[in-house]
Amino acid sequence: MDSPHGAAVKAEDFGLKGPRGWAFRGVGIDAAPGSLIAVEGPSGSGRTCLLLALTGRMKPTWGHAEVGGHHLPKRMTAVRRITALGPVSGVNELDQALTVAEQLREGALLQRHYGAPVRAMFRPRAERRAAAEARIAAALEAAGLDLAALPKGERTSVRDLERLEAVRLSVAIALLGSPGLLALDDLDLKLSDTERVEAWDLLRSVAARGITVLAVCSEAPADAIVLRTTPKEPDAPDTPAAPAASDTPAVAESDADAEADAEADGGSGTGTKTGTKTDTKTDKDDTKGADDALAEAGRA
């Protein structure tokens, strides 16, 4: 893998509102490159929407954010190029029908097709294959996944992987593109206490390499920068919250349908209310609807 340069993450009064209310709002953060960031909150509280918004895959509707020097929502395409997704349900899941080796080769192929310089496509086939194998080996090492320890080695089916092994595989595939920011959803889902410790140790090791890590979880470790999402209060006013510090809760809709509504709202084409003139042309180029944004997620 190339030496990555982590992406700084900044946000002020960042929010996303769908037809049925806020998915999240009032988010504030100022994290340096190589930070370990945890999005903590109960399931259905807008955590995934916040993760997708900060990685340029869902259009926010209030406030502003900056990832790696690229402003959201105007530069969503640029943010997608420097960020990579680990497992996100319904967006970037592993293919259960493939073997581990096939999944890795597919990830390397997609990275080469969408992320590599054009000149790399004209290298001799043997050279391209050797480069891909070296990149895969480096990514597996960084993710702590030993193929020899799997039941059938690299021929092990993805569906037969333990949950933590699947997380490691997803991280390895994401690292193939040398991203500035790595984002994972539901990190601690179905993990034992021991496995959760291992999972966070993995993400710390990735952050130590200079890559900024953003992980959704139910309980954040003490050393992480924490963004908290909480269920929206029934009587809460339908106005944007005041700018929040990184440890201040971001108010989010508790109904799981709000995330789908917010996703649909991502393609509305409305400008962001930041007090500045909206660049509608750039918005149109960068966001062609929620379907296009989520389809792009598979490429990062």
> What pLDDT is stored for residue 122 in this prediction?
56
- Per-residue pLDDT tens for 105-140? 999 888 765 555 545 555 677 777 787 899 999 999
Residue 268 in this model has a pLDDT that exceeds 50: no
> What pLDDT is stored for residue 256 in this prediction?
38
> What pLDDT is stored for residue 44 in this prediction?
81
> What pLDDT is stored for residue 63 in this prediction?
93
Residue percentage of the chain with pLDDT more than 70: 71
Band of the pLDDT at 42, cuts 50, 70, 90?
confident
> Could you tell me if 54 and 9 are in contact, meaning their C-beta atoms sit under 8 angstroms apart?
yes
Q: Which residue has the higher pLDDT, 242 or 57?
A: 57
Give the residue-averaged pLDDT of 251-271. 40
> Nearest to residue 187, comparing CAs of 88, 284, 272?
88
List, as one string, the DSSP characters of 105-169. HHHHHHHHHHHS-GGGGGS-HHHHHHHHHHHHHHHHHHHT--GGGSTTGGG-BGGGS-HHHHHHH
> What pLDDT is stored for residue 5 in this prediction?
80
Q: Which residues contact 287 (CB under 8 A, 6 or more apart)?
A: 59, 73, 76, 266, 267, 269, 293
- Per-residue pLDDT tens for 59-113? 999 999 999 999 999 999 999 999 999 988 888 899 999 999 999 999 988 876 5
> What pLDDT is stored for residue 166 in this prediction?
96
Q: Which residue has the higher pLDDT, 145 or 90?
A: 145
Q: For the chain, how are helix, strand and coil distributed in percent, rounded to 5?
A: 40, 20, 40
Average pLDDT, the chain: 79
Q: Which of 1-5, 31-35, 221-225 has the lowest mean pLDDT?
A: 1-5
The Cα 166–Cα 161 span in angstroms is 6
Give the residue-averaged pLDDT of 242-264. 41
Of 122-126, 173-177, 270-274, which has the strongest mean pLDDT? 173-177
Q: What amino acid is encoded at 290 in this protein?
A: A
> What pLDDT is stored for residue 120 in this prediction?
54
| Cα-Cα-Cα-Cα dihedral sign, residues 277, 80, 77, 231 | negative
